[in-house]
Amino acid sequence: MSLVLLLFALAGNALLLRISTDLSGALPPWAAILVQPLIVTLLLGAFFRNLLPTIASVEKMAITLVNDCLPFGLVLLGSEFELRELVGLGGRPLLGISLTIVLTLILGRWLAGVSHLTQRTTWLLLIGNCICGPSAITFVSTVLICTPQEVALAIFINSLTGFLFMALLPVLGSTLHLEPASFGLWAGSSLQSTAQVVASASMYSPEAVDIAVLIKSIRILMLVPLMIALSWAIKRKSTSTDQRSGFWPGLPIPGFMLGFILVALMFNAAEWLITTTQLPGLALTTLLPEFIGLQKWVSNLSALLICSAMFAIGYQLKPERIGPTAYPMVTFSLYTAFILVVISYWLVVT
């Protein structure tokens, strides 16, 4: 019965993913944010939990989706990690982005102590703001072993924060009389998700989009060293008897993170070999489309597994527990997002 439910859930999420992706491509950038697959599946999971009576077998299936599908989906997400984005980028933007993230994390950690937030909630919201929104929150939640309640609430608050600053940033850019390229630098280095970056840059000027996406890609690359550092810190504090940590014996990082790095290196190495090496008897026009097709297939499988886990996380969300914890989280998210906007303007744009 559990296997049938699991297969049904995966098939249903595949359909939701396809519909959400098609809608994202058909809508304007600002509207496409509302139908991001991660957000849609999370909200639908919460909707079904509160619409239908709780069933033990479905509850068990939801736990299975989170524990099994999410780590594997994150491993396959390495196929989208493009190291070549670093090539050709000057040292100043890279240094500015790095310092922006570090300073925001430091100030955010101090602010969390004042706000009396838990360690897990603090890191979920901080890294969600600093790196790439819901995707980064998903990564951090697996490292920190967060509850579905914490993950769902963090993603929802992060999305609302990002939507607010996505609309606000073009107004500030016009007030400051920024050139399109400068605004692209600012949007790419300060907004949460890639969809929000594209939408905000598009609202300001079409010329700002390309540079905004490039800078955002660099921020996403920061996820790997940040997760390694966070994992190492957690590993030092965890006991050898902690079976929930997800760490393999002798490794300073969780197993899924190692898998993510290996998949990313494998796909980047394959792309480099195909595009730079003269392979006798194999035309570039033949190999490259095959490689792109494989990369897209792996990426789609990763999206399916992660969205299925998001549906399960939403299904385990208990609305009655949201009130007491949501208000300080919203305040903290808004403050740290504002700090990120100010510091990125200072270090990256000016």
> Which residues in the chain show pLDDT less than 50?
1-7, 240-245, 247-249
The pLDDT score that the predictor gives to residue 338 is 96
* Tally of domains in the chain: 1
Cα separation, 135 vs 140, in Å, equals 9
Strand partners, 247: 254
The pLDDT, as a whole number, for residue 41 is 78
Tell me the pLDDT tens digit for each residue of 170-183. Answer: 999 999 999 999 99
pLDDT for residue 80: 83
Nearest 10 degrees: Cα torsion 3, 242, 76, 259: -130
Residue carrying the six token digits 């394959």: 270
Question: What pLDDT does 9 receive?
Answer: 55
Which range marks the domain in which residue 57 is found?
A: 2-349
pLDDT at 100: 93
Determine the pLDDT at residue 242.
45
Tokens of 5: 């439910």
Q: What is the model's pLDDT at position 241?
A: 40
Is residue 152 a contact partner of residue 214, using CB atoms and an 8 Å limit?
no
State how far the alpha carbon of 111 is from the alpha carbons of 122, 144, 178, 253, in Å: 9, 20, 30, 27
C-alpha span between 31 and 200 (Å, rounded) = 11
d(CA 53, CA 301): 30
Question: Residues, the chain, total?
Answer: 350
Q: How big is the CA angle at 30 (ends 24 and 36), to the nearest 5 degrees?
A: 40
